[in-house]
Amino acid sequence: MDKVYFIDTGIRNSVINDFSSLDFRNDVGGLWENFLLTERTKRNDYIGDYSEQHFWRKYSGAEVDYIETRDGLVTGYEFKWGKKKSRSGVSWQTDYPTAGFEVVSKESWLEFVM
């Protein structure tokens, strides 16, 4: 199953016809994920980091939002807007024990995109 991201989240909002404030949206996690992926892509392009970009999902439903592969090193990133713990990290690290894993939250996002 593919994921679709928009460089401009205003276009995304227009497609789904939802311009509500974050307090009234049921897709805040999707907006957050889209924003972080877009900003990370811009950052990587700016610094000349042409890492491979992927996402990971198992048939069981476990997923990691964003994967970067660079120089043989693989790191999975889970994007969390709220305080819920990521359960996918355990599954990811079980399947890929040598890969890195990080949760990107409202508190840590700036480091991820800078």
Q: Are the CB atoms for 76 and 89 separated by under 8 Å?
A: yes
DSSP run (H or E) holding 52: strand 52-57
Mean pLDDT along residues 40-59:
94
Confidence of residue 51 (pLDDT cuts 50, 70, 90): very high
Which one is the CATH code of 9-113: 3.40.1000, 3.40.390, 3.30.70, 3.40.1350?
Answer: 3.40.1350
- Residue 37 carries which side chain, given as an amino acid letter? L
Which residue in 107, 25, 104 sits closest to 65, CA to CA? 104
Kindly list the domain boundaries of the chain, sorted by start residue: 9-113
Q: Are the CB atoms for 66 and 79 separated by under 8 Å?
A: yes
User: 58-106, pLDDT tens digit by residue?
Assistant: 988 889 999 999 999 999 999 999 888 878 889 999 999 999 999 999 9
The confidence score (pLDDT) of residue 107 equals: 93
Q: Which two tokens stand for residue 102?
A: 């990080």
The rounded distance, in Å, linking the Cα atoms of 74 and 72 is 7
The count of other CB atoms within 10 Å of the CB of residue 100 is: 14
The confidence score (pLDDT) of residue 83 equals: 82
The confidence score (pLDDT) of residue 5 equals: 87
Confidence of residue 43 (pLDDT cuts 50, 70, 90): very high
Q: What is the pLDDT of the chain when averaged over all its residues? A: 92
DSSP run (H or E) holding 109: helix 109-113
